[in-house]
Chain A
């Protein structure tokens, strides 16, 4: 039998040379006339080991990593097709502690299967959720999702079942399922991994949602920074149509569900659900007033389920194993598993799917192994650019929606960005305001104008100009942003700013830096602006 060698096609693995490794493995197989083949799988999510190459042996899959194209020949010399020793050998993949201690439900297949093989998907439990859903009434499907306790994994944590019920109970001639794949938060990549590593699970989840609420059409709005994910989805959708899992007669049920992947255009705000809907309609991505909720009047004015990738990709396992099964993971009001993404200055960066309740410290040290630089950890930002900066003293906070809210932070999409002691929190606070100014949709004044004023005020604080007065002014500005902004961008940008001041006050009281030398940072040469119509 032909030996299978797995080399990930995940964009992150490719970013450190997986394509070159796959090519090199294929060349070695050909030149040595071996009975083996290369499978491009998704990533297991252990990025410090990428490119992680696995070999299928009678003893299970054996991992080697990080493999470079140059080391491939030596792997063959050492007999890695039989799983033999080599300095890069990591042992059985499933026994690697980082992976072994996880509870992978949503990511059960990611990294194991060929993402674009429907037969692989089905033989690993795929489409069992849809099969069961097709035997149930819409009410029962939604009851199961509600019972599972699944809350929106995009960041807001709204109960998914309640959203679906609203759409089901709103009569209309047309309804939509929209997947928010505009994963713009720094420190997050779980959506990308699923779209590239197991796209059929998202397609199945959306199909189940469509059947549950009576929607016949769906869109996946993918950010343009994810070209690999976009291509993977387009291919997977074409395959699903070809095999009868999408279209006029979903899996022979007589029910219709059409699906299309659309590309965003580089606007962070389009991760906000109403901006995303405007963008899908072909307009500027400006947010809408709520109410009406998208569940009542969403895409093209029709009732619309809009959920994050991970929420929708979790639906198949809930339908397959039942809401009770999923609910038995987790703590308090946070049920099921959380996909934690370890990022930034971290030794072992990667995806950890685990029942809610793990502490920030356990995630960063037990899984992540501390900082990559080896320097002391100073700050952690959880929940993306709108999340709070936590100091070391808050690391025992459990990763749970309510626990974070109590400490004036937010769990968001589960991204954890670690900073060592070289970080300057005044600089990070300034960046938060700058980011808000770049990405504001411009609809409401607090966000549009307040973000720019915020940068200016923080600049004055850093430069020690009327520092105490300006700190007071900044606090006031943050209050206006919190109370007066229309959406979460302006409404939450005070989180990183105020948490930086609260937990790291010393960074706002340093001596003013010397003014830059005359024209020092200017670069020579004539330049041409790209963004102006002359």
Chain B
């Protein structure tokens, strides 16, 4: 999370060079680029393909396979809402609808002002304290509508 920098091909190449010798380097490289820029820019594909001696299709196919990798910058805050069974048993669906209504977006979308992205996740491993959410990498448990409101409002205040 943090404050991602704008896409910069030179900077991307430095990160690629740091990791390209690892066995199975593609995922570590993609994570590094997403950490750096908040998403994987289209322009990164030929750079990675060239460094790892892969086709553009192989790199693109890998990026698009995984839920984590973004094609566009995420909002300033990323809120991951668990909608797996344990959280369902504690009413996550209504909390999630509440969050969607509050922010005016659906799961998988970003608000127009780029302040929030909300994503569905399937299990955060906090199943004894459901419903669980993760805001900017921090885990929260027993998230009622009120707790969700508090988390969103606090994040917006510190925007």
Contacts and interface: CB of A to CB of B under 8 A. Distances in A.
Interface in B23-53: 23-28, 30-31, 42, 52
B74 interface: yes
B26 to A, nearest CB: 3
The interface residues of chain B, by DSSP majority, are classed as loop
Interface stretch (A113-121, A275-283, A328-336): A275-283
Interface string A426-461: 001001000100110100000000000000000000
B122 A189 contact: no
A431 B85 contact: yes
Contacts of A420: 89
B104 A343 contact: no
B26 A282 contact: yes
Nearest to A372: B90
A151 to B, nearest CB: 23
Contact of B23 (A263, A300, A428): A300
Contacts of B68: 224, 264-266
B9 interface: no
B129 A16 contact: yes
Interface in A39-98: 47-48, 50
Interface string B84-104: 111111100000010011001
Interface residues of B, number: 60
B115 interface: no
Given A266-B121, A282-B62, A283-B26, A530 B128 contact: no
A499 interface: no
Given A225-B124, A263-B31, A385-B84, A530 B42 contact: no
A15 interface: yes
B145 interface: no
A189 to B, nearest CB: 4
B8 interface: no
B141 interface: yes
Interface residues of A, number: 73
Contacts of B110: 527-528, 530
Given A343-B127, A344-B89, A418-B89, A225 B134 contact: yes
Contact of B85 (A183, A191, A268, A385): A385
A441 B26 CA distance: 18
Contact of A530 (B25, B30, B65, B117): B117
A192 B129 CA distance: 14
A525 B126 contact: no
A40 B136 CA distance: 22
A32 interface: no
B109 A530 contact: yes
Contact of B128 (A262, A349, A435, A521): A349
B148 interface: no
A232 to B, nearest CB: 13
Given A526-B112, A531-B71, A284 B127 contact: no
Given A225-B124, A280-B24, A15 B108 contact: no
A521 B101 CA distance: 9
B108 A187 contact: no
A523 B128 contact: no
B152 interface: no
Given A343-B86, A428-B85, A225 B128 contact: no
B128 A341 contact: yes
21 contacts: A12-B139, A15-B129, A16-B141, A47-B128, A187-B84, A192-B125, A224-B68, A225-B121, A225-B124, A262-B28, A265-B67, A285-B65, A344-B85, A415-B86, A428-B85, A523-B101, A523-B106, A528-B72, A528-B109, A530-B72, A531-B72
Interface of B: 23-28, 30-31, 42, 52, 58, 61-62, 65-72, 74, 80, 84-90, 97, 100-101, 104-106, 108-112, 117, 121-130, 132, 134, 137-142
Please list the 8 inter-chain residue pairs (A to B) with the smallest Cβ-Cβ separation, ordered nearest first.
A349-B128, A282-B26, A186-B84, A343-B127, A265-B66, A266-B67, A344-B89, A15-B141
Given A263-B28, A282-B52, A530-B71, 20 more contacts: A14-B138, A50-B129, A189-B126, A192-B125, A266-B121, A280-B24, A280-B27, A286-B65, A343-B130, A344-B88, A344-B130, A346-B128, A372-B90, A415-B86, A420-B89, A438-B122, A525-B111, A527-B105, A532-B72, A533-B72
Interface of A: 11-12, 14-16, 47-48, 50, 183-189, 191-192, 224-228, 262-268, 279-286, 300, 341-346, 349-350, 372, 381, 385, 415, 417-420, 423, 428, 431, 435, 438-439, 441, 521, 523-533
